A and B are shown apart, each in its own frame.
Chain A
Amino acid sequence: MENAVIIKVEHVSMKFNLATEKFDSFKEYVIRSIKKQISYNEFWALKDVSFEVRKGDSLGLIGLNGSGKSTMLKTIAGVLKPTKGSVTVYGTVAPLIELGAGFDFDLTARENIYLNGAILGYTREMMQEHYEDIVDFSELREFMDVPVKNFSSGMVSRLAFAIATIGTPDILIVDEVLSVGDFRFQEKCHERIRRMMDQGTTILFVSHSIDQVKSICNKIVWLERGRMKRFGDAEPVCKEYSES
């Protein structure tokens, strides 16, 4: 008996207009529209990508720089709306926000925990419940009342990781954040991700490190210039990728 589908990506294409000349001003825009001088370079970051992820799977996205991995994740997270096709997600998505994007650097770590939790859609009560856990995991107990602007980047990412991985979201998006922090903390993050997988969380993982992908994921989507080159079990696809 196969698990239920949790993410369904159907014929997703994403087009970006790269304005050949950037105009920010209204005057220029009007003049050029009248003269019909606006020209765009169309750029398809994704072209007709379809795949399904089932509950409990962990999907790795691999590909070279500019192959559309992050764009794909963003459409799944709901940040980008695909130009064509559709993405359907059945469940809650917790994005591991890139280094402190959800932080206000003037606020203290404690205040940021609540702010960041709210950004992920958690209530204050829920955050209070998980507060101890976050403090413990990030190992920042002495620094909770220090403004985040005084934190080192490693401290920021530890806090961010601890917040994003509370509870058991249905889907966790991990976009190259594991490359930060020292070796020991990376281990800890890996372990936590594995524990979440055991509890049934679906993981979406993007990394350039093929070893990391292999150790975490059981399914792989290989993107090349916005097109899907392979989709399947981790072992064979990884092998082919490393050889290419």
Chain B
Amino acid sequence: MSVYIQNFMKFRPLLNELVSRDVKIKYRRSVLGVLWTLLNPLMMMIILSVVFSNLFKFDIENFPLYLLSGQIIFNFYNDATSNAMSAVIGNAALIKKVYVPKYLFVISRVFSSFINLLASFTALMLVMIATRAELHWTVLLSVIPLALLVALSLGIGLALAALTVKFRDIMHLYSVFVTALMYLTPVIYPMSILPGWLYKIVMLNPLTNILTMFRSVMFDNTVFGLGELGLAAIETVIFLAAGLYIFYKNQDEFILNI
């Protein structure tokens, strides 16, 4: 175990470089540069708020915020896992030449997405202030669902990255899966409109639980119960452990298949 930690410490600078590369490359040659990380989600949110406060009306107080929070969480999940999926294949040239702990590529992709998540989160706060939504101290607790979300996405990302090396089909399948998953997560609709059987399915989705926790601390000034927290933590640990296991078991064969 200590060997792994030592190795990780040695390559930690690489993690910083990989993340900063991802951020730099994305906004290279644009006048506003890194400012776009904040501007982009902010503009999206403004449009969505305008559209959805006039168009659809579910029986939800401050519907734009409900939608935006759902979008932030789901977009991060989508972004992180999809990017992580291609992390090993995308760095094939490097993996073939030099020894680098391969999980670093997956972690770096998830972290890059996390930076975007932080920007979107800031944008959400700005929107909350602009729409005069009440800010409660419970907002600070949003760290917990966000941390769980990152760990969950990392676990799934690791598994996807390892499996995609063997079966490239997964890349195409996964984008379909994510679309389905989005409708199985209460991003747009409230849970109350679901019929009983569908409600159960949606509750099985680990994202639902995390999203509900996030919303309750952000907008409702209520702290999630221990039951919810425990369930989310268990789900996250299971996915993370499974992801690590799958990645660890397959990593020596990557080089033969990429």
Measuring CB to CB, which residues of chain A are less than 8 angstroms from any residue of chain B?
Answer: 16-17, 24-27, 29, 77-81, 93, 95, 97-98, 101-102, 104, 106-107, 111, 114-115, 117-124
Q: Is the CB of A101 within 8 A of B13?
A: no
Measuring CB to CB, which residues of chain B are less than 8 angstroms from any residue of chain A?
Answer: 10-11, 13-14, 16-18, 21, 24-25, 28, 93-100, 167-170, 252, 255-256
Known contacts A24-B167, A77-B98; 5 further A-B pairs (Cβ under 8 A):
A77-B99, A95-B98, A101-B98, A115-B18, A118-B14
Q: Is the CB of B94 within 8 A of A101?
A: yes
Nearest B residue to A80, CB-CB:
B255
Complex alpha-carbon distance, A102 and B98, angstroms: 8
Candidates B28, B96, B170; contact of A79 at CB < 8 Å: B96
Can you list 19 A-B contacts with CB-CB less than 8 angstroms, sorted by A residue number?
Answer: A17-B256, A24-B167, A25-B167, A25-B168, A77-B98, A78-B99, A80-B255, A101-B93, A101-B94, A101-B97, A102-B94, A107-B21, A115-B17, A115-B18, A115-B21, A118-B11, A118-B13, A121-B11, A124-B16
Nearest B residue to A114, CB-CB:
B17
Q: Is the CB of A24 within 8 A of B168?
A: yes
Q: Is the CB of B170 within 8 A of A107?
A: no
Complex alpha-carbon distance, A107 and B100, angstroms: 20
> Could you say which residues of chain B place their CB within 8 Å of the CB of A29?
167
> Could you say which residues of chain A place their CB within 8 Å of the CB of B96?
79, 101
Q: Is the CB of B100 within 8 A of A119?
A: yes
Q: Is the CB of A123 within 8 A of B13?
A: yes
Q: Is the CB of B25 within 8 A of A93?
A: no
> Could you say which residues of chain B place their CB within 8 Å of the CB of A107?
21, 24-25
Complex alpha-carbon distance, A122 and B25, angstroms: 22
Complex alpha-carbon distance, A80 and B118, angstroms: 38
Complex alpha-carbon distance, A119 and B98, angstroms: 8
Nearest A residue to B251, CB-CB:
A81
7 nearest interchain CB pairs? A78-B99, A118-B14, A118-B17, A26-B167, A118-B13, A101-B97, A81-B252
> Could you say which residues of chain A place their CB within 8 Å of the CB of B14?
118-119, 121
Q: Is the CB of B16 within 8 A of A119?
A: no
Known contacts A119-B14, A123-B13, A79 near B169 by CB under 8 Å: no
Q: Is the CB of B17 within 8 A of A79?
A: no
Complex alpha-carbon distance, A106 and B26, angstroms: 10
> Could you say which residues of chain B place their CB within 8 Å of the CB of A95?
97-99
Complex alpha-carbon distance, A133 and B95, angstroms: 27
Complex alpha-carbon distance, A124 and B14, angstroms: 9
Task: With both chains docked as a complex, state the minimum distance between the C-beta of A73 and any C-beta of chain B, in angstroms.
Answer: 10
> Could you say which residues of chain A place their CB within 8 Å of the CB of B167?
24-26, 29
Complex alpha-carbon distance, A95 and B96, angstroms: 12
> Could you say which residues of chain B place their CB within 8 Å of the CB of A27?
169
Task: With both chains docked as a complex, state the minimum distance between the C-beta of A210 and any C-beta of chain B, in angstroms.
Answer: 25
Nearest A residue to B96, CB-CB:
A79
Complex alpha-carbon distance, A24 and B164, angstroms: 10
Task: With both chains docked as a complex, state the minimum distance between the C-beta of B15 and any C-beta of chain A, in angstroms.
Answer: 8
> Could you say which residues of chain A place their CB within 8 Å of the CB of B95?
79
Complex alpha-carbon distance, A95 and B94, angstroms: 11
> Could you say which residues of chain A place their CB within 8 Å of the CB of B99?
77-79, 93, 95
> Could you say which residues of chain A place their CB within 8 Å of the CB of B255?
79-80
> Could you say which residues of chain A place their CB within 8 Å of the CB of B16?
118, 124
Complex alpha-carbon distance, A16 and B253, angstroms: 10
> Could you say which residues of chain B place their CB within 8 Å of the CB of A117?
13
Complex alpha-carbon distance, A227 and B12, angstroms: 38
Nearest A residue to B95, CB-CB:
A79
Q: Is the CB of A102 within 8 A of B13?
A: no
Q: Is the CB of A119 within 8 A of B168?
A: no
Q: Is the CB of A119 within 8 A of B256?
A: no
Known contacts A26-B167, A26-B169, A107-B24, A97 near B13 by CB under 8 Å: no
Task: With both chains docked as a complex, state the minimum distance between the C-beta of B210 and any C-beta of chain A, in angstroms.
Answer: 29
Known contacts A25-B169, A26-B167, A81-B252, A104 near B98 by CB under 8 Å: no
> Could you say which residues of chain B place their CB within 8 Å of the CB of A121?
10-11, 13-14
Complex alpha-carbon distance, A50 and B256, angstroms: 23
> Could you say which residues of chain B place their CB within 8 Å of the CB of A24?
167-169
Nearest A residue to B163, CB-CB:
A26
Complex alpha-carbon distance, A102 and B95, angstroms: 9
> Could you say which residues of chain A place their CB within 8 Å of the CB of B25?
104, 106-107
Complex alpha-carbon distance, A29 and B257, angstroms: 14
Task: With both chains docked as a complex, state the minimum distance between the C-beta of B96 and any C-beta of chain A, in angstroms.
Answer: 7
